[in-house]
Amino acid sequence: MLKSWQTISMNHNGTHQSVPQPQATEPARTLTASGNGSFTGNGSVTLTLEEDGVLGMIAHELKSPLTAARGFVNVVREGKAGPCNEQQKEFLEISEKAMDHLNGLVDNILYLVNGQAGVIEHNFQPLSLEELIHETLELYHLQAQERQIQLSAEIAEGLAKAKADSERIRRVLINLVSNAFKFTPEKGRIVIRAFPWQHQLRIEIEDSGIGIPKALIPRLFIKYSRLNGCRKENGVSRKEPGCGLGLALCKGIVEDHGGKIWVESKPGQGSVFIFTLPLATEVMYSNAQYRTK
Q: Which of 5, 115, 13 is nearest to 59 (CA)?
A: 115
Assign 3-state DSSP to the chain and report helix, strand, coil percentages, each to 5.
40, 30, 30
Residue 145, amino acid: Q
Question: How far apart, in whole angstroms, are the C-alpha atoms of residue 274 and residue 293?
Answer: 25
Hey, where are the domains in the chain?
A: 4-45+122-286, 49-121
DSSP letter at 186 equals T
- For the ranges 91-95, 110-114, 220-224, 244-248, the maximum mean pLDDT occurs at 91-95
State yes or no: pLDDT of 204 exceeds 80: yes
pLDDT of res. 216: 86
pLDDT of res. 219: 86
Comparison of pLDDT for 143 and 10, the residue scoring more = 143
pLDDT of res. 126: 96
pLDDT above 70 covers a percentage of the chain that reads 67
For residue 23, CA distances in Å to 2, 5, 92, 135, 276 come to 7, 6, 44, 24, 20
DSSP letter at 280 equals P
3-state DSSP assignment of residue 227: strand
Residue 44 burial class via C-beta count within 10 angstroms: exposed 0-12, middle 13-18, buried 19 and up: exposed
pLDDT of res. 17: 57
For 138-164, what is each residue's pLDDT tens digit?
Answer: 889 889 999 999 999 999 999 999 999
pLDDT of res. 24: 39
CB 152 within 8 A of CB 206: no
Banded model confidence at residue 43, pLDDT cuts 50, 70, 90: very low
State yes or no: pLDDT of 188 exceeds 80: yes
Mean pLDDT, rounded, for 12-37: 45
pLDDT of res. 229: 52
For CA atoms 221, 224, 225, 228, give the dihedral sign.
positive
Domain at 4-45+122-286, CATH from 3.30.565.10, 3.40.50.12640, 3.10.180.10, 3.30.300.130: 3.30.565.10
Task: Specify the pTM.
Answer: 0.69
Comparison of pLDDT for 55 and 215, the residue scoring more = 215
pLDDT of res. 201: 97
Comparison of pLDDT for 8 and 15, the residue scoring more = 8
Domain at 49-121, CATH from 1.10.287.130, 3.30.56.10, 1.10.760.10, 3.40.600.10: 1.10.287.130
Banded model confidence at residue 100, pLDDT cuts 50, 70, 90: confident
State yes or no: pLDDT of 127 exceeds 90: yes
pLDDT of res. 122: 81
Candidate from 52-66, 118-132, 181-195 with smallest mean pLDDT: 52-66
Mean pLDDT, rounded, for 103-127: 75
pLDDT of res. 215: 85
> Mean pLDDT over all residues of the chain?
77
Candidate from 6-20, 77-91, 139-153, 236-250 with smallest mean pLDDT: 6-20
**Which run of H or of E encompasses 238?**
strand 236-240
Mean pLDDT, rounded, for 56-67: 76
Mean pLDDT, rounded, for 209-220: 88
Mean pLDDT, rounded, for 250-262: 94
Task: Work out the widest C-alpha separation in the chain, in whole angstroms.
Answer: 58
